[in-house]
Amino acid sequence: EAGVAQSPRYKIIEKRQSVAFWCNPISGHATLYWYQQILGQGPKLLIQFQNNGVVDDSQLPKDRFSAERLKGVDSTLKIQPAKLEDSAVYLCASGLGGTTEAFFGQGTRLTVV
């Protein structure tokens, strides 16, 4: 079974530029999460989707971050404009929902210079 796919694996941008990350969850998984993991810390939830609806985006900095999950499958996370403190690994995870396990992708490492 294919896992959660994310791209790109690495991205370096200058501050104030824009960047987008893509996630393809495991087939059939209704729940999709985006996490931000700063070096040395645990992942922090940015947004949680159930199919194509947003369940929780309370910690998403909406002035610069946006995410969508068109058709309830793939998802994109965008940052515009980026700040130095956005440097982190952005993890996408998917699950069947409820209390089942969340499966993680390998993440996108973003460096803002």
Partner 1 sequence: KNQVEQSPQSLIILEGKNCTLQCNYTVSPFSNLRWYKQDTGRGPVSLTIMTFSENTKSNGRYTATLDADTKQSSLHITASQLSDSASYICVVTYLTGGGNKLTFGTGTQLKVEL
* 49-88 footprint of partner 1 as x/- string (CB under 8 A): -x----xx--------------------------------
Residue 71 CB, nearest approach to partner 1 (Å): 20
Query: What phi and psi, each to the nearest 5 degrees, are found at residue 86?
Result: -80, -5
Which of 2, 27, 28, 40 is in the footprint of partner 1 by CB under 8 A?
40
d(Cα 62, Cα 45) in Å, to the nearest integer?
13
Q: Strand 108-112 to strand 10-13: parallel, antiparallel, or no bridges (unpaired)?
A: parallel
Residue 48 CB, nearest approach to partner 1 (Å): 7
- Apex CA 55: angle with CA 109 and CA 48, to 5°? 15
Q: Which stretch binds partner 1 (CB under 8 A): 13-21, 64-72, 77-85, 104-112?
A: 104-112
d(Cα 50, Cα 41) in Å, to the nearest integer?
26
Which of 8, 15, 17, 97 is in the footprint of partner 1 by CB under 8 A?
97
Query: Which tokens in the block code for residue 61?
Result: 């900095």
